[in-house]
Structure 1
Amino acid sequence: MNKTILIFSFVLFNCFLSFSQEKDTVKTLTSLNKSAAQFERDTLLKQENSPLDIGDDRGIYILTKDGQMQLRILGSVRFSLLYDLKDIPVKNNFNTYYIPVGEDSKNIPNYYGSLNQTRIGFEINRQVGKDVVFIRLETDFNGQNGAFRIRHAYGEVGRFLVGQTWSLFSNVSSLPTMVNSNGPTGSVTLRTAQMRYSDTNRKGTRWAAALEYSRPDLNLQQLDTTGFSVVQIIPDVTARIEREGIFGAVQLSVAFTTVSIRDQDNNVSNFGGYGGSLSGDLRINEKNKILYQLTYGKSISHFITNFAGTGNDVIYNPNTGEFDPVDSFGGFLAYGFTMTKKIKANASIGYADLSNEDYQPGNSYRNSFSGALDCFWQIAPGARLGVEYIYGTRWNKDSSSGSAGRLQALFYYDF
């Protein structure tokens, strides 16, 4: 209830703000577009937009009297609901890792509704000499247990970016439009704190490199002794290269990470990890396209959305008393098509896999698969309704399996 009050209070505040400003300080979107060139950032750099991001044609634009700074207030009220035929412990997204197997699989229907995906944000463009400083802050309520969290918080000037946004190991432009907020099984949708440099060569190939912070992930509860903790001594090193042409775009990303584990005597053990990802889209024509992503790595499981928070970067070997790296693989294939001017749909399949060791118990996760059908209808400018059916299966090391399906819908209005 408190969240709902906060959301609608913010909407009312925005409405009040838009009508209470002096006429010479607030301009319409049309008038702002006429002078947009003065705030144009480097068009050679990649603009990273995920499928359900708030469009540039939404928001309240405020221009200072001197014309040197523009503020955009943006938000989106999002209501999601779902219906499960089986009891799945995670509600805010459909993650095949958490599909119950064996005795834990119970045919108990569940209905759930949430406003957790509701977003509030600000964007600032500031003319500083010949450069434009861009700052973005965007938040939502989709943290753990519905907690308020930061989605994006970064500043950008020229080729440099500092703050939290999409990891270079991600490629959200290759994601299909889905009601499931995590995207297809096996996808990478990680946001990290980072320092990034980007550029474009003479042939139009974009590239970027960054130092990122993404906390390594392992399950310390499996240890017989206490006193172990995870630290990050060396930042992640990531890079990507992307080429766009007439028929689509392709991106190759790499990540090098270090997992550091401190024991009860403050001794630190370091384990190197690495990974690569190939992603992009293939445009068949104006109404049809194919989207894809393939990711493989060692000790980088937390980059793949299905394994984030599951403790599978490295696992403890009770026979040797050491930690072993875990190989992980994820990928998806999606086909998107435009049915009418206001209705778009897509079909997607995804797969995620973890390597297993002999000493792991039989109920350890081995792999999973899912398929989804999504359809989005644009009710009015800024308002859309999405409906999705998704079905997935999880297999354990001992070949036991469990399956689950979910019917869910998302209504949102971007203001």
Structure 2
Amino acid sequence: MSKHPSMRARAPLAAALLLALAAPGSALAQSEREKALEARVADLERQVQMLLSAQQQQQTQIAATQEQVTQVQAAAAPAAPAGKQPIQATTITPGASAGTTFSYGGFIKMDAMATDTSDGRIADGSSGRLFYVPSTIPVAGDGGDPYADFHAQFSRFWLSADHVTDAGDTLKGYVEMDFFGGGSNTLAGNETATNTYAVTLRQAYVSWNNWLAGQTWSNFMDVAALPDAVDFVGPTDGTVFVRQAQLRYTRGPWSVSIENPQTTVTSYLGAARSNSGDNALPDVTARWQAKGGWGHFSVAGLLRQFKAGDRTDGGMAVSVSGKYNLGASDDIRYAANAGSGIGRYLGFGIGSDVVTDAGGDIQALDGYGGFVAWRHAFGPKLRGNLMYAASHFDNDASITGWGVTERTQSFHANLIYSPLPKLDVGAELIYGQRSLEDDREGDLKRLHTHIKYSF
């Protein structure tokens, strides 16, 4: 059965009314969910913002801490000097006063020589095989063939620490060593295998202002007058040559010192020679020196006490020395030394200080010696030297016997070539002679060469 037309018209209207009534509720429900979501999003944004702020604050603190650490490290480390940076990262003298400067130097030296002695060979291992030592020249022995020696024992190095206080006081510590005198007797340390030699003390002293204490050259010795030699010393016969412990005071041209005493003794009739450390008083020296563009001139005096057992004697000596410049290319160097009991100081102890007489007393021996040397520079790379030296001792043969040294002399001529700065290549011809009280003589002829690099 078909429906009434009015009913068919009211059906769409009812649906429309139902939809209109339901729509506000649906819209209201959708709005509440969006608000809830927006609230949650806002809360999450606040949490994220708080996390970002905390992270940024933490990074700022870390950066500040790193900067503080860097500042502390920079303050603890010494400031690097301008220009080329040093090799070491920190000071090389951490135990020294602030501002102390450290320096190092020395040289490497190789010596090679051929020797011919008229009356037998100089004993192997003797110092006379390494450089010219007049007292080692054989006398009244058998001749022989020439012999050669090579060594590097005179290579040297030194260390120095210098400081000037805020008040202007100067302090210096100095140590110098080489490899001569240490010696060795084992297979590993002799010429059979490795030629190993011990480090040997040359100088060790501290100086402050005008004072010096420690081991260095004797104040009686004029180091500045030594000639330019290929040999270790050169004109050894007439040279005062001593290093020893001392206390020295210098003021202007004057210097005075008290130094280690030691007495060398020749027994009655020359039966033996020995050293005595029985001295109760030090050796006393005084020196005056003048210098200028012309060179320098010096006079020194020496007072000594000699003692062996309970027997004593005294002596004194004087030394005049210097260097005179003849021009830009030439100079003369010289020394004249004489005195009673000068033996230990002259030419590596050519003669003794004292001799024991028949009654057991000791008597000082008189001696004298000197040298003169001419140096000429042929050019900036080549120079040469001529030298003469001599010594003489007034022995009483009735006490000393006839077998002691009366005199020595030597001639030296050398050429030294420097192909590069601080590098020397030299050759020296040496003729030396030693004579005994009975006029027996022995001579030495030597060609001495060296290569030396100083730094």
- TM-score class, shorter-chain normalisation, is 0.7 to 0.9
For 1:321-340, what aligned pairs fall within 5 Å after superposition? 321-340=360-379
Instruction: Give the partner amino acid of 1:346.
Output: N
For 1:182-261, what aligned pairs fall within 5 Å after superposition? 182-184=233-235, 185-200=237-252, 206-219=253-266, 229-261=276-308
Describe the superposition over 1:54-112 as per-residue Cα deviations: whole angstroms up to 9, x where unpaired: xxxxxxx969899711111223221111101222232122122221122x142321110
CA distance in 2 between partners of 1:66 and 1:164 (Å):
23
Q: Percent of aligned positions with the same letter in both sequences?
A: 23
* 2:230 and 2:428 in contact (8 A); partners too: yes
* 1:248 and 1:283 in contact (8 A); partners too: yes
Give the direction of change, closer, same or farther, for the CA distance of 1:170–1:241 in structure 2 (3 Å limit): same
Deviation at residue 379 of structure 1 after TM alignment: 2.6
CA distance in 1 between partners of 2:274 and 2:262 (Å):
18
CA distance in 1 between partners of 2:348 and 2:328 (Å):
32
* 2:270 and 2:404 in contact (8 A); partners too: no
Give the direction of change, closer, same or farther, for the CA distance of 1:162–1:335 in structure 2 (3 Å limit): same
Q: Which residue of 1 aligns with 2:179?
A: 141
* 1:192 and 1:214 in contact (8 A); partners too: no
Deviation at residue 168 of structure 1 after TM alignment: 0.9
Q: What SS is found at the alignment partner of 2:112?
A: strand
CA distance in 1 between partners of 2:275 and 2:104 (Å):
44
Q: Which residue of 2 aligns with 1:78?
A: 109
Higher helix share: 2
Instruction: Give the partner amino acid of 1:353.
Output: H
Q: What SS is found at the alignment partner of 1:411?
A: strand
Give the direction of change, closer, same or farther, for the CA distance of 1:226–1:401 in structure 2 (3 Å limit): closer
TM-score w.r.t. the length of structure 2 is 0.71
Give the direction of change, closer, same or farther, for the CA distance of 1:298–1:173 in structure 2 (3 Å limit): same
Structure 2 residue 396 is matched with structure 1 residue 357? yes
Give the direction of change, closer, same or farther, for the CA distance of 1:228–1:198 in structure 2 (3 Å limit): closer
* 1:85 and 1:109 in contact (8 A); partners too: yes
CA distance in 1 between partners of 2:145 and 2:78 (Å):
58
Describe the superposition over 1:239-273 as per-residue Cα deviations: whole angstroms up to 9, x where unpaired: 100011342211000010111111xxxxx222111
Structure 2 residue 342 is matched with structure 1 residue 300? yes
Instruction: Give the partner amino acid of 1:96.
Output: P
CA distance in 2 between partners of 1:109 and 1:365 (Å):
24
Can you give the 5+ residue segments of structure 2 that lack an aligned partner in the other structure?
A: 1-76, 184-196
* 2:264 and 2:274 in contact (8 A); partners too: no
Can you give the 5+ residue segments of structure 1 that lack an aligned partner in the other structure?
A: 1-21, 33-60, 201-205, 263-267
Q: Which residue of 1 aligns with 2:325?
A: 283
Q: What SS is found at the alignment partner of 1:407?
A: strand
Q: Which residue of 1 aligns with 2:122?
A: 88
Higher strand share: 1
Give the direction of change, closer, same or farther, for the CA distance of 1:150–1:63 in structure 2 (3 Å limit): closer
Give the direction of change, closer, same or farther, for the CA distance of 1:161–1:25 in structure 2 (3 Å limit): farther
**Aligned equivalent of 2:435, options 373, 395, 413:** 395
Deviation at residue 134 of structure 1 after TM alignment: 1.1
Instruction: Give the partner amino acid of 1:85.
Output: D
* 2:264 and 2:275 in contact (8 A); partners too: no
Q: Which residue of 1 aligns with 2:3?
A: none
Deviation at residue 306 of structure 1 after TM alignment: 3.8
Instruction: Give the partner amino acid of 2:283.
Output: D
Comparing 376-385 and 284-293, the one that deviates more? 376-385
Q: Which residue of 1 aligns with 2:144?
A: 107
**Structure 1 residue runs of 4 or more that deviate by more than 6 Å after TM superposition:** 61-67, 221-228
Instruction: Give the partner amino acid of 1:282.
Output: Y
CA distance in 2 between partners of 1:379 and 1:304 (Å):
35
CA distance in 2 between partners of 1:180 and 1:156 (Å):
30
Q: Which residue of 1 aligns with 2:31?
A: none
Count the aligned residue pairs.
Answer: 351
Bigger RCO (CA 8 Å, 6+ sep): 1
Deviation at residue 321 of structure 1 after TM alignment: 2.7
Q: Which residue of 1 aligns with 2:426?
A: 386
Q: What SS is found at the alignment partner of 1:302?
A: helix
Deviation at residue 229 of structure 1 after TM alignment: 4.7
Deviation at residue 230 of structure 1 after TM alignment: 3.6
CA distance in 1 between partners of 2:299 and 2:290 (Å):
9
Deviation at residue 343 of structure 1 after TM alignment: 1.2
* 2:205 and 2:216 in contact (8 A); partners too: yes
Give the direction of change, closer, same or farther, for the CA distance of 1:339–1:403 in structure 2 (3 Å limit): same
Structure 2 residue 406 is matched with structure 1 residue 406? no
Instruction: Give the partner amino acid of 1:357.
Output: D
Q: Which residue of 1 aligns with 2:57?
A: none
For 1:32-111, what aligned pairs fall within 5 Å after superposition? 68-86=99-117, 87-89=121-123, 90-102=128-140, 104-111=141-148
Give the direction of change, closer, same or farther, for the CA distance of 1:144–1:350 in structure 2 (3 Å limit): farther
CA distance in 2 between partners of 1:91 and 1:195 (Å):
34
Give the direction of change, closer, same or farther, for the CA distance of 1:327–1:113 in structure 2 (3 Å limit): same
Describe the superposition over 1:171-220 as per-residue Cα deviations: whole angstroms up to 9, x where unpaired: 011111112213312101211211111011xxxxx110011114221245
* 1:62 and 1:70 in contact (8 A); partners too: no
Instruction: State the Cα RMSD in Å.
Output: 2.8
Structure 2 residue 170 is matched with structure 1 residue 118? no
